[in-house]
Amino acid sequence: MQERKRQKPSLVLIKELQERSKQCHEFVRSSFRSERIEHPELRKALEHYFSYWNDFTHPGLFSIAFEASGGKPDKALRPQAAIAMIAAGFDIHDDIIDKSAEKHDHQTVFGKFGPDLALLLGNAFAIKGLTLLGQSISNLPRGKATQILDIIKTCLFEVGNAHAIELGMKSDAETSTERYLHVIHMKAASIEADMHVAALIATNEIKQIHTLTKIGRVLGTLATLREEFIDVFDTEELNRRIQTETLPVPVMSALQEARLHKKLKKLLEKGKLTSRDTEVLVNLVMKSKSVGKLKNKMRQLCSEAELAIRCVENDECITTLTKLVRSTLEDL
């Protein structure tokens, strides 16, 4: 059973993304540790974050898009690290907004050191990341460098707007699925930015740049939707979302069905679900017609992404991107 689990395509792909991110992670850690951080608690907060920081999505997809556009992976390190730093800043700030004291069996910086130091550390990552990005593209033609900075600004503002909209949904258990799907589409701007910027640095081929940009948005949307499904099965994460965040999209969708609304509402009003409660909720949600439609939406997005991937010129990257897209539907 364990051997079969290890052979899942998604786990193989995770290993590839981790490998593509390894040198970037080392660079980020070394770069931050060389900075003069005088406050001892802030240094401890940094090391604590590094103890669980393992973002391979942003740097990994940047690497794939860079290579798919004709770039040599070893030439992407500095902009790749910049993207990883910016993403880390947003990650730390998100924990403050969501009041996430624990995630995936570890205390967050917010949970261990409080909101003030978490805010300062998030700021440090964002500032250092944006500075490094500017330095790493300074040798590009001025027009292209300006375009990259505009993309980062536009996409980060879109992600920020998505989180602002989401804040207004936290107290509304009846948020429509369509409205939240729009928020998820906006959040996917971060992955779009990774792949758009990587392509711009690597090539001048407009078709390739457009293709990788489109793939980034769709892949970002699919990956987020997959996480929404995963959260339905995780009692601890589900309780956290019930108490401090929006409900997972599949639960939102099922709530809109009259025949399920009362049963689901009764479960959610308990405040803290047991493992048995989660099993009951999963059974109700996953068999709902609305969740069936949501899965069909994901399949449609998967088909759109696969169609776009055919325009990529690097055969190896075509294979990897296709597997990545298909892995978002694994076990669903």
Residue 22 lies in a domain: yes
Domain harbouring 105, CATH code:
1.10.600.10
Residue 2 lies in a domain: no
Residue 141 lies in a domain: yes
pLDDT at 176: 80
Residue 3 lies in a domain: no
pLDDT digits over 114-171, tens only?
999 999 999 999 999 999 999 999 999 999 999 999 999 999 999 999 999 988 877 5
pLDDT digits over 292-302, tens only?
999 999 999 99
Q: What is the mean pLDDT of the chain?
A: 92
Which residue, 290, 158, 301, is CA-closest to 219?
A: 301
Residue 263 lies in a domain: yes
pLDDT at 173: 58
- Check residue 248 and report its DSSP letter: P
Q: How far is CA 55 from CA 60, 83, 197, 204, 274, in A?
A: 9, 11, 18, 28, 30
Residue 315 lies in a domain: yes
Expressed as residue numbers, the domain containing 37 is: 8-327
Residue 105 lies in a domain: yes
Residue 101 lies in a domain: yes
**Is 210 within 8 Å of 65 (Cβ atoms)?**
no
pTM, 2 dp: 0.91
Q: What is the 3-state secondary structure (H, E, C) of 93-119?
A: HHHHHHCCCEECCEECHHHHHHHHHHH
Number of domains in the chain: 1
